[in-house]
Amino acid sequence: MSGLPETLSEALAGRFGERFSLAQAVREQHGHGESHHTTAIPDGVVFAETTEDVAETVRLCAGHKVPVIAFGAGTSLEGHLIALNGGISIDLSRMNSILRISSADLDCTVQAGVTREQLNNDLRDLGLFFPIDPGANASIGGMASTRASGTNAVRYGTMRENVLALTVVLPDGKIIHTGSRARKSSAGYDLTRLFVGSEGTLGIITEVTVRLYGIPETISAALCSFEDVSQAVDTAIAIVQLGIPVARMELMDRGLIAAVNRYSGLDLKLEDTLAFEFHGSPASVEEQVAMVRDIVRDNDGKDFEWASSPEERNRLWKARHNAFYAVVSQRTDAKGWSSDVCVPVSELGSCILYTRELLKECKVPAAILGHVGDGNYHVVFAVDPSNGQEMAEVAAINKQMVKRAISVGGTCTGEHGVGTGKIAYMREEHGDAVDFMALLKHAIDPSGIMNPGKILP
Ligand SMILES: Cc1cc2nc3c(=O)[nH]c(=O)nc-3n(C[C@H](O)[C@H](O)[C@H](O)COP(=O)(O)OP(=O)(O)OC[C@H]3O[C@@H](n4cnc5c(N)ncnc54)[C@H](O)[C@@H]3O)c2cc1C
């Protein structure tokens, strides 16, 4: 049963016809992301096709003080999409047009529902690519909203560095444009960066302008294994500290390698492993490889194993991207719980060793992986959400990881965002700045209709 006011339901049905759904199955599908968090379903779903569709939906909901929750691709991991107070889920997946690509300026503007794989497929023939790569085939609007990053961030930055401009529908239904296509600007408050990472709590992004990059002349990928995770981490830290511009540097502990081998039919050595990708001219790649090789040797790493052809490379990164599902598949009916802390890179070694100690007594299948070049790492657990004791055990480990990260100057979430899962740590991380965030939220969304119950305590 939908809890919507009848007048709102009628108005949405009148405006959107079949693009407004009250069907249970559709609502269920929009009440969760990919994580272990309990589903809470919205009262209805609007499939938007234009900025004006979004604005009209928000205006109607604002008139009834009914919550609105933007839905991109539904891949978020911290309970971002759960409709705690019901309301309308605005599904942006049909807003999937690439509006403009400029090879000359290395930028493009897309509707928010365009996915990163769709964008890269269209860019490939132009010799361009969009590097932000959270593994999942997320929407560009969703990625902007969670300030996503992923495997390429060590070289190309996160959504924070790569979004130039936005079109946003505000909580009263007004449409604004933030930023510009200029690479830099000193013109006033940086509203683009206010909305990037705001998880749909301040407005709904309908168009995004992002930076693009030329596909590098040479791309090569290699794996390198170590007998102990600390050697792998020391290698990663030295590479960052020497400023070697690796494009990817991913840690996979031996538990993850076992899971990935099983899930993706690979035959990787069962050791703690770093996976690298090098981008550049042939000479620059050669130089990077030589420098990295020396550091690997200094840390007793084994010889590189190359994934030389594009097919081998794709296979390797696809397996890495499926790591979450590889861990989850170790148990029937399990859900994934991915922790996500980020620390100054000099603290990474001690934090990972601390995490490994925490995991020693843990009975839940778990593996450590990380975008270690950024100091960002995860433990993926395969949990049974119906087992209270198990959930409490994982929650306690997650909490200790977060506390340790914050205590060394890090953050409770490097890239997945706050959603509902990290709210409890916001004050510990930000202190009184949380009150300032609440002030901003209230000024922009006084009725609190934008994705309520997320980010702020
Ligand atoms: C296997 C797997 C691996 C992952 N790896 C990574 C990783 O390496 N790095 C990383 O950063 N993330 C990772 N994620 C998490 C996820 O892919 C990102 O959080 C992604 O940015 C979410 O995008 P989405 O389109 O799926 O958004 P959704 O899940 O649909 O939404 C996420 C949040 O953004 C809001 N939102 C969505 N669209 C808009 C919009 N247009 N305007 C305003 N608010 C909006 C929603 O309301 C919600 O709060 C991974 C997820 C999975 C399942």
Probe target for ligand 1 pocket from 58, 146, 251, with the most ligand atoms within 8 Å of CB: 146
Whole-angstrom Cα distance, residue 180 to residue 293? 42
Residue 140 CA, closest ligand 1 atom number? 25
Q: How far is the CA of 283 from the centre of ligand 1 (A)?
A: 37
Residues 6+ apart with CB under 8 A from 1: none
With 80 as the cut, is the pLDDT of residue 308 above it? no
Pairing of strands 88-91, 44-47: parallel
Regarding the beta carbon of 168 and ligand 1, being less than 6 Å apart is answered: no
Tokens representing residue 301 in the block: 């790493």
Mean pLDDT of 133-144: 96
Probe target for ligand 1 pocket from 75, 77, 158, with the most ligand atoms within 8 Å of CB: 75
Residue (of 166, 232, 215) closest to 194 by Cα position: 166
pLDDT of residue 303: 85
Residue 69 CA, closest ligand 1 atom number? 47
User: E strands along 92-161, which residues?
Assistant: 98-102, 107-111, 128-129
Regarding the beta carbon of 199 and ligand 1, being less than 6 Å apart is answered: yes
Q: Coil, strand, or helix at residue 427?
A: helix
pLDDT, tens only, 36-95: 999 999 999 999 999 999 999 999 999 999 999 999 999 999 999 999 999 999 999 999
- pTM for the model: 0.97
Q: Take atom 2 of ligand 1 and give the residue whose Cα is closest.
A: 136
Q: How far is the CA of 242 from the centre of ligand 1 (A)?
A: 32
Sole residue written with tokens 């070697």: 244
Mean pLDDT of 235-252: 96
Helix (H) or strand (E) holding 167: strand 163-169
Regarding the beta carbon of 233 and ligand 1, being less than 6 Å apart is answered: no
The mean predicted confidence, pLDDT, of the chain is 96
Whole-angstrom Cα distance, residue 354 to residue 50? 48
Residue 454 CA, closest ligand 1 atom number? 49
pLDDT of residue 2: 67
What is the torsion angle, in degrees rounded to the nearest 10, for the CA atoms of residue 221, residue 240, residue 75 and residue 382? 90
Residue 35 CA, closest ligand 1 atom number? 53
pLDDT of residue 307: 85
Whole-angstrom Cα distance, residue 364 to residue 130? 36
Query: Predicted confidence band at 1 (pLDDT cuts at 50, 70, 90)?
Result: low
Residues 6+ apart with CB under 8 A from 360: none
Q: How far is the CA of 76 from the centre of ligand 1 (A)?
A: 4
Q: How far is the CA of 140 from the centre of ligand 1 (A)?
A: 9
Helix axes 282-298, 229-241, angle to 10 degrees: 130
Q: Coil, strand, or helix at residue 376?
A: strand
Q: How far is the CA of 143 from the centre of ligand 1 (A)?
A: 5
